[in-house]
Amino acid sequence: MTMPPPFSPGDRVKLTERYANTLCRSIKTKHIDWRGRRGIVRICGASQVAIMWPGRTSPDRVEINGVELAREAAE
């Protein structure tokens, strides 16, 4: 029996703190603050999620365990 993906297309997500900190230390992506970035799920597979970040033209693939739903503050 397969489990349904934890995310659906259109969900607003962010990177987990641990995954974001790893990207912030990377030489290629250290100029981006990944901790505050929010994106929208475009495709969700069994092990990866394709996330469209603001200002990008193509989605980035991220492991599912590196992503969590973004909880926005009530206004």
What CA–CA distance (Å, rounded) separates 73 from 17?
18
Is residue 2 a part of any domain in this protein?
Answer: no
Is residue 6 a part of any domain in this protein?
Answer: no
Q: Which residue has the tokens 């799920």?
A: 41
Is residue 74 a part of any domain in this protein?
Answer: no
List per-residue pLDDT tens for the chain, 75 residues long.
Answer: 566 778 899 999 999 999 988 888 877 776 778 888 999 999 998 889 999 999 889 999 999 999 999 887 544
Q: How many domains does the chain have?
A: 1
Residue 57 CB neighbours (<10 A): 5
**Residue 60 domain boundaries:** 12-69
Give the pLDDT confidence score for residue 35 in this predicted structure: 85
Give the predicted TM-score (pTM) of the model.
Answer: 0.80
Is residue 43 a part of any domain in this protein?
Answer: yes
Give the pLDDT confidence score for residue 75 in this predicted structure: 46
Give the pLDDT confidence score for residue 41 in this predicted structure: 95
Q: What is the CATH number of the domain that holds 18?
A: 2.30.30
23: left (phi over 0), alpha (psi -120 to 50) or beta: alpha
At 20, is the secondary structure helix, strand, or coil?
helix
Is residue 19 a part of any domain in this protein?
Answer: yes
Is residue 7 a part of any domain in this protein?
Answer: no
User: Strand ranges (DSSP E) for 1-75?
Assistant: 12-15, 38-44, 48-52, 60-63, 67-69
Give the pLDDT confidence score for residue 2 in this predicted structure: 61
